[in-house]
Amino acid sequence: MVALSAWAMHTNEYDNASQHGCTGECYEEWRAATGGVVAIAQAQVEARAQASPEELGAPLYAGCV
């Protein structure tokens, strides 16, 4: 079984190293649209600061409803 797994990984023609990569023009477009990682994180912090305790706890109890 180990030999089969090793063979399959060795002969796989697909390289997923850059599957989720966004560089160059792609990154610049994403940054212009979203403001970048820091802007997204700041927006999340501000949203949590303005949320009520019920809103903050809602994801934790969604399965209990």
pLDDT in tens, 41-59: 999 999 989 988 888 887 7
Collapsing DSSP to helix, strand or coil, 17 comes out as coil
pLDDT band of 15, cuts 50, 70, 90: low
Domain boundaries, the chain: 21-65
Please state the pTM of the whole predicted model. Answer: 0.51
Structure tokens at 12: 């796989």
Angstrom distance (rounded) from CA 37 to CA 40: 5
Q: Contact at 8 Å (CB) between 29 and 21?
A: no
Collapsing DSSP to helix, strand or coil, 21 comes out as coil
- Given a cut of 70, is residue 6 above it in pLDDT? yes
